Amino acid sequence: MARFVKVAKKSRLPENRGTYVEVGGNRIALFNLSGDIYAIGDTCTHQGGSLSQGRVRGNEVECPWHGSFFDIETGEAVSPPARDKVISYKVRLTDDVVEVEI
């Protein structure tokens, strides 16, 4: 059964950059895009690069290892070499608290 878990404070998430958290054995990349918070799997589906360490361009993040781009809102792979999407997590905000559904 899915549940929401507190993972961060919104005020501590840098704008237009990634941060990662580990929850229940999952590495989750958090992104603050101009105040909107998104959560996707942190591991690139190509060869495992950390997406939270990638460069953000608009609503996409570039894998720092081989340059694949992923849509931060949906987790979709939008350019090769990655072909498979990463998981996208539901996010809930309560005041300054960011919760992710796992």
Looking up residue 31, the CATH number of its domain turns out to be 2.102.10.10
What is the pTM for the complete model shown? Answer: 0.95
Query: Per-residue confidence at 89, pLDDT binned at 50, 70, 90?
Result: very high
Encode pLDDT of 23-75 as tens digits.
989 999 999 999 999 999 999 999 999 999 999 999 999 999 999 999 999 99
**How many domains, in total, are found in the chain?**
1
Predicted pLDDT at 1: 83
Residue range of the domain that includes 77:
4-101
Between 2 and 98, name the one with better pLDDT: 98
User: What is the sign, positive or negative, of the torsion defined by CA atoms of 49, 52, 56, 59?
Assistant: positive
